[in-house]
Homo-oligomer: A and B are copies of this chain.
């Protein structure tokens, strides 16, 4: 029978037994949102909370996809079941970009000895445009993988805050990838990356300026005083698989720090609360769209169009209908 005929609980049984198609189907439901997605979120909640959730972020072109693929391959080769949620900030039009990511991520897994592709599940999610969509779908996908026993679950995305998903709210450990070509630490700081990084990776480290980037980052960290955890700065050349093991080790070490310090409970508490807020926002966003589509909404918007009503007044009026 077709997967489409299965209920969410039935799909979860198939997924638990390792059916990759069932996992893919569940991810599609999570991505679409609505009642089925909420059902998945409820049913996976009890089994979730075991996986180490690792966020990998950085500017476009930093080599995040390649690094993520190498990391996943290395982890799979050492017996881990690894899940990757790759968030593509581009519009759905740009399938090419997503495809490029997939190739950069899949290739190393198939090329790495001992890395069983069945122990790696990669899912790309593109910004669908509807506000709050990804912000709700990503934690849903992470929880699903977590509940299915994938560990770690890696969330790869461009730039902190570049899309509506705040990776720091979604991860236990945040890896920030920079490149000599991308810009110096000042830019990293400007983009707010320094504040969220648990681990720094200077990728494309074979390029000129790599040591400068490292030094700039060290200086920035020095300004931050002496926190309980000082982010290590690792040099990689992901395309050549150079420095990947060190990143893997640093990620495990940071998890140890989170557990010993109890910080992991704090972070997960913050994550859960932010998910509640995000889901509430999502509910309300649908109400905004519904309200603007009502007769009253259309009338007010028509007044805005001909300039007789200011947007702020229109918003005030419409807020009474919500």
Residues of A within 8 A of B (CB): 38, 41-42, 45, 49, 59-61, 88-91, 93-94, 96-97, 100, 127, 131, 139, 158-159, 161-163, 181-184, 186-187, 189-192, 195, 269, 272-273, 275-277, 279-285, 287-289, 291-292, 300-301, 304-305, 307, 310-316, 318-319, 322
- Select one of B161, B191, B310 contacting A41, CB under 8 A: B310
Q: Do the beta carbons of B315 and A91 come within 8 Å of each other?
A: no
A183–B61 CB distance below 8 A:
yes
Q: How far is it, in angstroms, between the C-alpha of A182 and the C-alpha of B161 when the chains are bound?
A: 19
Q: Is the CB–CB distance between B93 and A283 below 8 Å?
A: no
Q: Are B281 and A192 in contact (CB under 8 A)?
A: no
Do A310 and B181 touch (CB < 8 A)? no
A289: B residues at CB distance < 8 A: 277
A187 with B61, Cβ < 8 A, contacts A42-B313, A311-B275 known: yes
The residues of B that contact A280 with a CB separation of less than 8 Å are: 288, 291-292, 315, 318-319, 322
Interchain CB contact (< 8 A) of A158 among B189, B191, B269, B281: B191
